[in-house]
Amino acid sequence: MKLNVNGKDIEIDAEPDMPLLWALRDLAGLKGPKFGCGIAACGACTVHIDGEPTRSCSIAVEDVDGAVTTIEGISNGDDLHSVQKAWIEKQVPQCGYCQSGQIMGAVALLENNSSPTDEDIDEAMSGNLCRCGSYPQIREAIKHAATLKVEA
């Protein structure tokens, strides 16, 4: 099977019904998307397919129709994405397990809404669970990333 991942066409030897998450992690060697729940409820496995946040644990590789972007693909070389910069500056992660999914959700939000309100953030991020409860830091970082994006 051929997938476009992070701007590159890759060949993977996968069963058609293999979840995209496992194809990315086990076959493509991308460890950013995490296994959390396996039922698309927690968001730890979030990737973008043609810019739309998608739970990679619940879509089969045969059903992927578009370019896949993982957290490894959102930065531009050595230059971190504004959301990644904000995450670092605001010291968001605690355990860090959910953070790649949180960041991918935040990137999608800011692509569609460059100046989100608290309510916008809460709604967009509601499907991304954080066991450590770093939601206030996540909200602060998203607002900060929006200002970084404007300044860039």
Among residues 11, 44, 72, the one where a domain terminates is 72
Q: How far apart are CA 105 and CA 98, in angstroms?
A: 11
Task: Please indicate, yes or no, whether residues 147 and 86 belong to a single structural domain of this protein.
Answer: yes
- Domain of 127, CATH number, reads 1.10.150.120
Task: Please indicate, yes or no, whether residues 48 and 68 belong to a single structural domain of this protein.
Answer: yes
List C-alpha distances in Å: 118 to 38, 100, 125, 141.
28, 21, 10, 12
Among residues 10, 39, 72, the one where a domain terminates is 72
Residue 36: the pLDDT is 94
Query: Is there a domain that residue 127 lies in?
Result: yes
Task: Please indicate, yes or no, whether residues 26 and 57 belong to a single structural domain of this protein.
Answer: yes
Among residues 72, 106, 130, the one where a domain terminates is 72
Sheet holding 68-69, edge to edge: 8-11, 2-5, 68-69, 46-49, 52-55
What is the domain range of residue 46? 2-72
| Model confidence pLDDT, tens digit, residues 25-68 | 999 999 999 999 999 999 999 999 999 999 999 999 999 999 99
Q: How far apart are CA 138 and CA 140, in angstroms?
A: 5
How are beta strands 46-49 and 68-69 bridged, if at all?
A: antiparallel
What is the model's pTM? 0.94
Q: What's the whole-number mean pLDDT along residues 139-143? A: 97
Local structure of 8: helix, strand or coil = strand
| Model confidence pLDDT, tens digit, residues 87-137 | 999 999 999 899 999 999 999 999 999 999 999 999 999 999 999 999 999
Q: Is the pLDDT of residue 17 over 90?
A: yes
Residue 152: the pLDDT is 47
Residue 78: the pLDDT is 81
